[in-house]
Every structure is written in C-alpha cells, then in structure tokens.
Structure 1
Amino acid sequence: LLELDRCQEELQRLSHERSAMQEWFAEEWNCVVKAMQSEQNEDVIYQLELHAYTLACLCNIWQDKVRLVIPHKTMDSSWGPTVEQLAWPRKWELSEMTMENEIDGEEEGESDEDDDEDQEDDGEEQELLEAVEMVALSDEFRNSY
C-alpha cells in the first residue's frame, strides 16, 4: 500500500513536470519563431534556425518520452512546432545515418574475400532498416493524435 502511494505521488509529480515542460517549450518555440520573423540579419536568422532545429530535436525526444504522462491541467496537444517542423530533424537524422553507413563502408574497403565483412554490412543494413521502421512507426503514431 505504501508503494502504491509512492507511485501515485510520483505520477502526480511527473504530471506537473510534463505540463511545465510543455509550457516552457511552447513559449521558447514561439519566441524563436517571432525572432526569426522580425530579424533582418541573415547571420542571426541562421543561428535562430539552428536553435529551432535543436528545439525540434528536443521536442521529438520529449514527446516520445512523456506521451503516456497525462498533464495535470488541460493543455493544447501542440508543443509549438507543426508536424512538418518536427519531421525536419527526423529526416536529417535518417540522412545522417545513411551517409555515415556509406562512409563507413568506403573506409573499410570492399573485399570479397571475407564473408565476415559481408555479414557486418548486412547487420548495418538491418540496423538502418530497423531505424527507418522505428521512425515511420513513430511518425504514424504521432499523426494518429
């Protein structure tokens, strides 16, 4: 019974923290968007775009982690960025993984003598396919809400 009480208290704390995170993130996102719209200097806009990209990555991570935690007060389901803006970092992550695998494959050299290397390549391809499937599943789940 004591453990149940602790779990309920922790769930309540998590609920408050989730609400605070979402409120902070929405405010931070709105500030960055307004700053980009009002700024004239291209260098500053570029830095703001980098910050927006970092925030979008953070939002993807946070949303995935706290999806099952119900906020303690009624809140908009949006954290600030649109679905397209959240898809932007995921696309970059996928292209980075693809480029890393291509670079790794070139550095190792292509030798048909060792079957072990072929098996490693198959393992890397399998990991990449699994990553693509996970991103697609995550996007599908996100779009269902």
Structure 2
Amino acid sequence: MEQSTPVPKRSWVTLLAGTAFMGVWYALGLMRREPNQGLVDHLGGSDWASLQAETTAATELVATLVGGVGMLGLALVALAVTLIVGPYRRGERWSWQALWAVPVVHVALFVNDLTGFPTADTEVGTYGVLFLVTAVVCTIGLLLGVGAVLRRRQDTFEPA
C-alpha cells in the first residue's frame, strides 16, 4: 500500500505565507471597494470621489464589482489555505497539483495589470506587484515540496 510522504515544513509555511499575504490585500480591497486609478480614468473621472459625486449608479455598480472580485479572491485564499493545512501538509499529490492554480491565477492577474486593461498604459500598478510577489512566493513554496510530493513511501505489508 502506498502512502504519501509529509511535505517539509518550509514548503507549506512558505506557501501559506504567500497565500495569506494576498488574502490580506483581498480583504483590504473588499473593505475599501475602490477601483484602481486606471479604471477611474477609463470611466472619465479625475479621482474616485469626484466620479462618485457625478455618477452614483455607475460608481455603485463598479464598487459592487470590485467587492465581488475581492470576495472571489478571498474564496481562492480560503480554498488554498484549506488545501495547504490539510492534504498538502500530508503530501497528497492531488493537492500539490491543485495548488498550482494559486500562482497561475496571480500570474494571469499580473499580466492583466501589465497590459493595462481597461486602459492602454503598460505601467505595473501596486496590485500587479502584489500579484507577482504572491505568484513567486507560492511557486517557491510548491517547488520546495516537490520532492516529498512526487516521492512515494512503501509500507511493509505482511499477510496474516
């Protein structure tokens, strides 16, 4: 019977730290519910407060969408933390494979920030840097555990 090998502590702690780091930013964004300046510029305002004063319905919609993105981010963080402290620490291969979604999603968010959607600028904003840091830290955490996850331990089984 094959059993998984527990993942080294440095692996799951690094992965947990990267995930928790981004969770804090998702929570702050959810509480703030204010879009980045590029979106405000695209909507035709000079800053978020003046845009709110001019178009209440549109800014309420944008704030709701930003809040929804924050909730999705927190859901991803909650799922990742659950996988990290449970099956990943035990070294189950499927959880290691599933946790690759965290850096992949954050690289995609970084590329999205880099392309300047919905604006055409190519400056990397604060969120882009946070996405990239999260992706790098989580990738390092996953790579630190690759040996334990891919190696299988054989239990000795003696028939009665």
Which bin holds the TM-score, normalised by the shorter protein?
A: 0.3 to 0.5
With the length of structure 1 as denominator, give the TM-score of the two structures.
0.36
Kindly indicate whether structure 1 or structure 2 has the higher relative contact order, using CA contacts under 8 Å at least 6 residues apart.
Answer: 2
Structure with bigger helix share is: 1
